[in-house]
């Protein structure tokens, strides 16, 4: 299934009338071991309920898969978390204290939620290294960029991420020359450079070969723990390989939750996927 | 390795670039002045008035071309209004030169002749203080900066892009041209400003003055190139190029493209203003023709011919096209515009990366087994121009 590209465009440039800057995510409070709470979130478009009292929480370091039929509300849920869509009712918190329904999109991004959209967009005329450098978490105002010098610490961080995404050998290759799967990885790497606490990945393996899909699964598993991940995917082999808890969304609310085998055995889930 | 923005640019400014730069400065600051001042007029070594003026003029154009490349080649924003910023700088400094005429005008008035002719009794407020060279220089840089800054802020803020942006820059320039054409607006009507006599008290036609102006222009051009290089090899330059290629992605990783674009746009305009101010005393006239559609389009053609996104290509393009122009306008004046149009089509079709691109292609073919040479399949990265066409 193809998400229209237009839907994937970040819209917070208008919102950031001032200069975007690196906000210290100091306000993030994860003392209770939970990084994301959604409580009875409802969103409707012209009367149609895309999300219907959706409640969900993600633990720190967790790797969560969200599955569900087309139109279940998975992308809308990510829109709510990243501030792109405001819920009609319900609560959304990042950690204990950050109210996602009040923050603007760049503020949410700087607070530590990174999102990968379905269509990979990397800077094709820049090298892999430069792509990662540009994405790095730092002061991003014009003046700082003019006088910026790459220090060894930053270089080290870029090299670490390049290893994670297996692109070290391609460091000085133009991103435009990478394969589709490598571009997806590079984009994930750019996300990591922003040092998010929570990563939202909407259909990250769409268009990848089986081999690339499995390697992506390995990468995500290795990221869990340090980061919390929410992965939306239709590819069941991939979901199985990730091995985490699975949440099934249907008509805007949670239908079932548990490990993959459990939810696959659930009668209501079978009915939703096969019954119609 | 060779293909990154950073490294590519560093290589261009490397030992070869520096040598070329120093040779150029030695030529313009020492050799040409000596040949103009010292060699007797009938000697083969003598550089004529005409040649000195033409060289100075072309260097001013080259500065404008570099400014254009910064905004077009690196930020992907095609301005068809750079003639305006050039003219604004030219007019600001031109008024200083008008005031330097003093009482020696046709009407022997302290007011410029055209104002006497209009029966004005006093300078309009906006020309106050222009007898002071410092203030004139402030205007030279300040007016294009403010005009570009305000215009750019609103245009970029409302996300006007691509061809729409080009069209409104052209419209702005056209409106300004109409304004400057009118006698009662105080810009000298269609004659503009001319008949200058002195600059800082020195005769403006004296060989020594010409040589000093030539040297200053060479320094300004060199400075513009160095500034440009520094900008495009900085992180700022990489963000700018990223904005050109995928703006929404740039926003998503936390940059606000508005300020990135506005900075280069305004700087580009200010550089054009400086070029205009250097142009006027050397060429001896500034008139609204500089704001015609054709003038601004010509600037874009210089850059396209030389090669976008290389800076040095802009200089080469400005020099080549303007040398051709001065030859044509003497030999076949009526065919110049046809030739220019033809040249543009030719370059777009066959040399999308301009003269610099052609040179790179030729030198690469000659040394196929050079270390680091890209494998054939990953041929040189396409320039922004071809990228857009491919996309
Ligand atoms: N901006 C919008 N305006 C109107 N309806 C919308 C809008 N965004 C989403 N919807 C609708 O809300 C429902 C949920 O959409 P959503 O994109 O969240 O589904 P999804 O679970 O991501 O589906 P898919 O697997 O197809 O990506 C769909 O029926 C969709 O048509
Ligand atoms: Mg979706």
Residue of A nearest to B1 (CA): A172
For residue A248, the cross-strand partners are A67, A256
For atom 11 of ligand 1, the residue with the nearest CA is: A50
The mean predicted confidence, pLDDT, of chain A is: 85
| pLDDT tens-place string over residues A99-115 | 999 988 778 888 889 88
**Model pLDDT, residue A22:** 40
CA of A44 to the centre of ligand 1 (A): 10
For atom 1 of ligand 1, the residue with the nearest CA is: A45
Element (H, E) at A58: strand A48-59
For residue A224, the cross-strand partners are A227
- Out of A5, A56, A75, A200, give the residue to mutate to test ligand 1, the one with the largest number of ligand atoms within 8 Å of its CB: A75
Ligand 1, residue A252: give the atom nearest the CA.
14
Q: How far is A263 from chain B, CA to nearest CA, in Å? A: 35
- B319 vs B87: CA distance, rounded Å: 20
Give the mean model confidence (pLDDT) for residues A129-139: 92
- A53 vs A43: CA distance, rounded Å: 8
pLDDT of A11 above 80:
no
Q: Is the minimum CB–CB distance between B329 and chain A shorter than 8 Å?
A: no
- B233 vs B329: CA distance, rounded Å: 38
- A96 vs A93: CA distance, rounded Å: 6
Give the mean model confidence (pLDDT) for residues A169-183: 92
| pLDDT tens-place string over residues B276-289 | 999 999 999 999 99
Q: How many CB atoms lie within 10 A of CB B189?
A: 17
Q: Is the minimum CB–CB distance between A147 and chain B shorter than 8 Å?
A: yes
For atom 27 of ligand 1, the residue with the nearest CA is: A70
Residue of A nearest to B387 (CA): A125
Nearest ligand atom owner, CA of A49: 1
Of the pLDDT bands very low, low, confident and very high (cuts 50, 70, 90), residue A21 is very low
Q: Is the minimum CB–CB distance between B239 and chain A shorter than 8 Å?
A: yes
Q: What is the pTM for the complete model shown?
A: 0.82
CA of A66 to the centre of ligand 1 (A): 15
**Model pLDDT, residue A275:** 57
Instruction: Please name each of the domains of chain A with its CATH number.
Output: 29-274 (3.40.50.300)
- Sequence-ordered list of residues with C-beta below 8 angstroms from that of B158, at least 6 positions apart, any chain: none
How far is residue B148 CA from its own chain's centroid? 15
Say which residue the tokens 């054939």 belong to. Answer: B376
Q: For B274-336, where are the E strands, in sequence order?
A: 285-286
CA of A223 to the centre of ligand 1 (A): 28
**Model pLDDT, residue B76:** 95
Regions of chain B short of the pLDDT cut 70: 1-13, 365-391
User: Whole-angstrom distance between the N-terminal and C-terminal Cα of chain B?
Assistant: 25
- B173 vs A186: CA distance, rounded Å: 43
CA nearest neighbour of A139 among A17, A20, A14: A20
CA-based Rg of chain B, rounded to a whole angstrom?
A: 22
* Nearest-10 Cα torsion for B131, B135, B141, B147: -90
CA of A77 to the centre of ligand 1 (A): 9
The mean predicted confidence, pLDDT, of chain B is: 88
- A14 vs A16: CA distance, rounded Å: 5
Residue A50 beta carbon below 6 angstroms from any ligand 1 atom: yes
- B111 vs B127: CA distance, rounded Å: 11
- A91 vs A106: CA distance, rounded Å: 19
CB burial of residue B342 (10 Å; 0-12, 13-18, 19+): exposed
CA nearest neighbour of B221 among B177, B147, B131, B282: B282
Question: By the 8 A CB rule, do B180 and B291 touch?
Answer: yes
For residue A34, the cross-strand partners are A59
Q: How far is B264 from chain A, CA to nearest CA, in Å? A: 10
Question: By the 8 A CB rule, do A67 and A247 touch?
Answer: yes
Option in A124, A133, A150 nearest B245 (CB): A124
Q: How many CB atoms lie within 10 A of CB B327?
A: 11
Residue length, chain B?
391
| pLDDT tens-place string over residues B36-55 | 999 888 888 899 999 999 99
Option in A19, A110, A134 nearest B242 (CB): A134
Measured CA to CA in angstroms, residue A245 lies from A17, A39, A60, A229, A271 at distances of 39, 19, 13, 11, 20
Return the structure tokens found at A194. 């922003």
- Sequence-ordered list of residues with C-beta below 8 angstroms from that of A179, at least 6 positions apart, any chain: none
């Amino acid at each position: 299934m193809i998400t229209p590209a237009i839907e994937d465009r970040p819209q917070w440039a208008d919102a950031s009338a001032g200069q975007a800057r690196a906000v210290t995510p100091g306000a993030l409070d994860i003392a209770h071991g939970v990084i994301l709470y959604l409580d009875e979130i409802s969103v409707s478009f012209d009367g149609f309920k895309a999300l219907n009292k959706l409640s969900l929480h993600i633990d720190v370091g967790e790797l969560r898969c969200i599955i569900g039929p087309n139109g279940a509300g998975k992308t809308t849920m990510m829109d709510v978390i990243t501030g792109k869509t405001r819920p009609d009712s319900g609560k959304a918190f990042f950690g204990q204290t950050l109210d996602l329904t009040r923050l603007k999109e760049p503020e949410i991004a700087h607070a530590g939620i990174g999102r990968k959209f379905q269509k990979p967009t990397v800077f094709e005329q820049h090298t892999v290294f430069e792509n990662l450098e540009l994405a790095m978490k730092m002061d991003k105002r014009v003046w700082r960029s003019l006088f910026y010098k790459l220090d060894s610490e930053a270089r080290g961080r870029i090299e670490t991420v390049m290893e994670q995404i297996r692109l070290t050998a391609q460091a000085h290759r133009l991103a435009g020359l990478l394969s589709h799967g490598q571009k997806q990885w590079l984009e994930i790497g750019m996300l990591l450079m922003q040092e998010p606490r929570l990563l939202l990945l909407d259909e990250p393996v769409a268009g990848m070969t089986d081999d690339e899909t499995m390697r992506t699964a390995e990468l995500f598993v290795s990221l869990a723990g340090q980061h919390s991940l929410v992965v939306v995917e239709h590819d069941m082999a991939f979901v199985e390989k990730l091995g985490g808890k699975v949440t099934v969304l249907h008509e805007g609310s949670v239908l079932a939750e548990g490990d993959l085998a459990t939810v696959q055995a659930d009668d209501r889930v079978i009915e939703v996927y096969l019954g119609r | 390795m060779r293909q990154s923005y950073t490294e590519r640019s560093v290589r261009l400014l490397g030992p070869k670039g520096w040598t070329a730069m120093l040779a150029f400065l030695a030529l313009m600051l020492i050799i040409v002045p000596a040949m103009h001042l010292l060699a007797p007029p009938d000697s083969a070594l003598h550089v004529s008035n005409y040649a000195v003026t033409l060289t100075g003029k072309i260097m001013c154009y080259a500065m404008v071309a570099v400014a254009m490349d910064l905004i077009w080649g690196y930020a992907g924003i095609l301005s068809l209004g750079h003639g305006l910023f050039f003219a604004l700088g030219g007019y600001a400094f031109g008024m200083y030169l008008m005031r330097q005429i003093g009482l020696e005008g046709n009407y022997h008035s302290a007011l410029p002749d055209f104002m006497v002719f209009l029966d004005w009794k006093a300078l309009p407020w906006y020309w106050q203080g222009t007898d002071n060279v410092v203030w004139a220089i402030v205007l030279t840089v300040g007016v294009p900066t403010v005009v570009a800054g305000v215009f750019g802020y609103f245009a970029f803020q409302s996300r006007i892009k691509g061809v729409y942006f080009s069209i409104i820059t052209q419209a702005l320039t056209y409106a300004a041209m109409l304004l400057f054409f009118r006698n009662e607006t105080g810009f000298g009507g269609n004659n503009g400003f001319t008949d200058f006599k002195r600059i800082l008290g020195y005769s403006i036609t004296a060989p020594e003055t010409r040589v000093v102006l030539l040297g200053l222009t060479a320094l300004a051009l060199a400075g513009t190139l160095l500034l440009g290089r520094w900008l495009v090899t900085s992180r700022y330059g990489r963000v700018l190029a990223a904005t050109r290629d995928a703006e929404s992605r740039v926003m998503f990783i936390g940059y606000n493209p508005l300020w990135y674009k506005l900075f280069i746009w305004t700087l580009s305009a200010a550089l054009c203003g400086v070029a205009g101010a250097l142009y006027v005393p050397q060429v001896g006239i500034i008139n609204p023709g500089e704001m015609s559609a054709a003038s601004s389009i010509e600037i874009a053609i210089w850059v396209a011919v030389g090669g976008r996104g290389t800076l040095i290509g802009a200089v080469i393009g400005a020099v080549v096209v303007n040398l051709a122009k001065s030859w044509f306008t003497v030999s076949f004046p009526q065919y110049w515009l046809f030739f220019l149009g033809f040249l543009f089509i030719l370059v777009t079709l066959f040399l999308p990366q301009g003269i610099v691109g052609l040179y790179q292609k030729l030198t690469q073919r000659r040394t196929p087994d050079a270390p680091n040479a890209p494998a054939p399949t990953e041929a040189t990265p396409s320039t922004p121009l071809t990228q857009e066409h491919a996309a």
